[in-house]
Amino acid sequence: MSLSLCYLFQGLSKLQLRRLSAITRETAIEKGQCLLNEGQKAEELHVLESGAVELMMRVEEGIEIPIAILRKAGDCVGASALVPPHVYSLSARCVKEGKSLCMKQADLQQLILEDRDLGCIIMTNLARNLLERLKETRQELKIHFRTLFRSMQS
């Protein structure tokens, strides 16, 4: 069981992890399979058990650039399923067959409504991760600004 390895679920009690397991189903993922598509309704959250998943960002029609490859048990895709308006912000494609633990958005929402402590822990973990990713993305922008400043100075 890799749920407790996922950053989203760190700090949950054993009972809370059991509640989460009750709405989780294990699914096989095949090489080439699209797990989720940027811009589509975020109906599922996947936690990787085995295999590998590539995250991609659409730059323009027909052009996608790779953002990251997830390979570790506990890595997850589809956290947008936890946040209104529930729309995927990236695409994810399986690049090595394996298994994922899959939770439906509606089941997660119901569980979070019923157990506010669980909800608070998951949402704090998510906010922390999003802030980290926001900082990283800003760092990439900074590199472009630095290049610009230097070309203006020279």
Among 5, 23, 83, 102, binds a copy of itself (CB under 8 A): 83
* 92 DSSP β-pair partners: 36, 55
Is omega for the bond preceding 84 within 30 degrees of 0, making it cis?
no
Is the separation of the CB atoms in 120 and 62 below 8 Å? no
Among 89, 99, 104, 107, binds a copy of itself (CB under 8 A): 89
**Residue found under tokens 């994922």:** 100
137 binds a copy of itself (CB under 8 A): yes
Dihedral, CA atoms, 117, 122, 128, 129, nearest 10 degrees? Answer: 170
Element housing 154 (H / E): none
18 binds a copy of itself (CB under 8 A): no
> In angstroms, what is the minimal distance from the CB of 50 to a copy of itself?
27
> In angstroms, what is the minimal distance from the CB of 81 to a copy of itself?
11
15 binds a copy of itself (CB under 8 A): no
* Rounded to 5°, angle at Cα 114 from 35 and 134: 45
Among 36, 141, 152, 154, binds a copy of itself (CB under 8 A): 141
Report how far Cα 50 is from the mean position of its chain's Cα atoms: 15
110 binds a copy of itself (CB under 8 A): no
Residues lying near a copy of itself in the complex (CB under 8 A): 57, 59-60, 63, 65, 80, 82-84, 89, 112, 116-117, 119-120, 123-124, 126-128, 130-131, 133-135, 137-138, 140-142, 144-146, 149
